């Protein structure tokens, strides 16, 4: 790879970092300007404790089945994974989540940013890897 090519790649990388930073800043401004509208939309779409937990756990790293199981682990009535997928598709439709790929979804907003409480402690649900959990179960 030539020196000129390396410099071009470095410059492009730097520009992409700047654009990413600016997009993050724009998103923060968007949330601030539209705080009440977004909060009202979140409250309307997340009308039950199970929906709030499912939304907060919606991530490309978690399947609907994992989210369904997590809802049961925090002491709420369990919801089947097809219901989770239905909710996620509705959240996408109203602009509260996005589709990453055929099976991956991602929430757009954090409920804590809008002072919306989740009635469960989610901090310990996904901390252990499956191997660690197996070892603890022995």
For residue range 61-76, list pLDDT tens digits in order: 999 999 999 998 998 9
More confidently predicted of 133 and 28: 28
The CA distance from 55 to 96, in Å, is 9
Q: CB atoms < 10 A from the CB of 68, how many?
A: 20
CA atoms within 13 A on the CB side of 133: 7
34-137 CATH fold: Arc Repressor Mutant, subunit A (1.10.10)
More confidently predicted of 103 and 84: 84
For residue range 79-96, list pLDDT tens digits in order: 999 999 999 999 999 999
Question: Which structure tokens are listed for 105?
Answer: 């979804």
Predicted pLDDT of residue 64: 95
Give the list of residues 6+ apart from residue 52 with CB closer than 8 angstroms, or none. 46, 111, 116, 117, 118, 119
- The pLDDT of residue 127 is above 90: no
């Amino acid at each position: 790879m030539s020196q000129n090519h390396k410099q071009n790649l470095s410059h492009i990388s730097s520009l992409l970092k700047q654009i990413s930073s600016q997009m993050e800043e724009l998103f923060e401004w968007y949330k601030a300007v539209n705080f009440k509208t977004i909060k009202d939309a979140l409250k309307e779409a997340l009308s039950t404790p199970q929906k709030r937990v499912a939304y907060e756990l919606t991530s490309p790293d978690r399947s609907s089945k994992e989210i369904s199981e997590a809802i049961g682990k925090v002491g709420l009535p369990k919801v089947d994974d097809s219901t989770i997928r239905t909710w996620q598709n509705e959240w996408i439709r109203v602009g509260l989540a996005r589709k990453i790929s055929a099976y991956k979804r991602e929430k757009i907003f954090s409920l804590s940013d809008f002072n919306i409480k989740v009635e469960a402690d989610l901090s310990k649900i996904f901390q252990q890897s499956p191997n660690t959990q197996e070892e603890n179960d022995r």
